[in-house]
Structure 1
Amino acid sequence: MADEGEESKTQRKKRSTELQKMGEDLLSLNKKQLEQIEVPEPLLAALREYQRLPNRHEAKRRQLQFIGKLMRGSDHESIRLALEKLRTPDRQEIRRGQDIEQWGERLLNGDESDVQAFVETWPSAERQTLRQLLRRYSQLATTASEAEEEKSSEPAKIQRRRLLDYIKTCID
């Protein structure tokens, strides 16, 4: 029987598998994201090597096990926290996305007073550009509803997307 302070073989294997999984998560990151995480150089080299390997003779599986081994020797807790931070969307970005959607709906369903309110709230917005985008959308949406065909609503969807993209440039 193992002492109370000693880790059992099952616990060691479970921890090893978790670290290997964390190594897989690191492989899913792009170069810029990897730079944001403090990864030891040997681990970084092993990650690069994995990307280079062909998937023959289980080379990638063995390399992944090696990455897991290197993870055990690194500060895996700080790597885990950094991974969580990268994967959790920023609250400000979520709020900005909601604002963009709300303004888009308000402008599409509203009138001139909504355009005025948007321009007052976001001074970088150009009234003329906004009106042109809304007019194009309105014309295409009317045509699409009259024809009631799926293909004819595609241009309206494109114009709606253009409007939302413009709103996105105005909202900081």
Structure 2
Amino acid sequence: MSHAHDDEMLPDDDSGFPERPSKSQRKRDMHALQDLGEQLVALSLDQLKKVPMPDSLADAVREAKRITSHEGRRRQMQYVGKLMRNVDPAPIQAQLDVFNGISKAEIARQHRLERLRADLIEDEKTLQAIGEQWPEADFQQLRTLRRNAIKERELNKPPRAFREIFRILRDLDAGAGDGSEADAAAEDAAEE
């Protein structure tokens, strides 16, 4: 390539360098990373272990959790923010979203279970689909709750059975995913 051709490819500015983010944008980015660091420090140690991050950042966050003096904590949080600049924040934010119950997958799961509950209330034949997915489901309990939910709706009463159906479907779905059927059964027994 000739030198003249290179000049044609450059932007119209004098520097020839790509435009850098404004000082205001860099400040906003820095504050967002500091907020992310604050969220990390607020996590329990068990949750912290599940967050994908370098060991140096994990150590700095654990240290920030231990510091009690205001000035010491402020300085440690600045250090956490500095370390955060070298880390891709997306996986960290995704894990925090999971902890906060707002992951896209979790929202989709909630919507799917809400649709299943609505289908069940509209048509008892939906129990067959529930049985195919979760053979361990208590169909008698679901039938009773369905009838109660319909009565609640007709009489403008609080939707207790309606909510209970959702809780049961959520527990069944969670049990299928992580083997916690015994936990869901124990929770059911404790509430009865």
TM-score normalized by structure 1?
A: 0.63
**CA separation of 1:163 and 1:71: change in aligned 2, threshold 3 A:** closer
Aligned to 1:20: 34
Query: How many angstroms apart in 2 are the aligned matches of 1:96 and 1:22?
Result: 26
User: What does residue 89 of structure 1 align with?
Assistant: 103
Give the alignment of 1:81-120 within 5 angstroms. 81-86=90-95, 87=97, 89-91=103-105, 93-110=106-123, 112-120=124-132
**How far is the alpha carbon of 1:134 from its aligned partner?**
1.9
What's the counterpart of residue 50 of structure 1?
64
Q: Give, in angstroms, the shift of residue 55 of structure 1.
A: 6.1
Aligned-pair RMSD on alpha carbons? Answer: 3.6
Structure 1, unaligned runs of 5 or more: none
Once residues 167 and 16 of structure 1 are traced to their aligned partners in structure 2, the CA distance between those partners, rounded to angstroms, is 42
8 A Cα contact 2:36 2:93, kept in partner: no
1:46 to 1:129, Cα distance in 2 relative to 1, 3 A: same
Distance 1:100 1:106 in 2: 10
Kept in 2: contact 1:19–1:68 (CA 8 A): yes
Q: Which has the higher contact order (CA 8 A, sep 6+)?
A: 1
Measure how far apart 1:163 and its partner are: 1.0
The C-alpha deviation readout for 1:34-86, integer Å capped at 9, x for no partner, is 22313324x33332233334464x443232113223445xx413xx1321332
**Residue matched to 2:160:** 158
- Look up the equivalent residue of 2:116 and give its one-letter code: W
User: Structure 2: 5+ residue runs without aligned partners?
Assistant: 1-14, 177-192
Distance 1:19 1:137, change over 3 A: closer
Structure 1 residues 39 and 170 mapped into 2: Cα distance closer, same or farther (>3 Å)?
same
Q: How far 1:106 moved relative to its partner?
A: 1.4
The Cα offsets for residues 6-41 of structure 1, whole Å up to 9 and x where unpaired, read as: x99x58x73655543442242244434422313324
Q: Distance in 2 between matches of 1:137 and 1:17?
A: 47
Give SS of 2:115's match: helix
Percent identity (aligned): 28
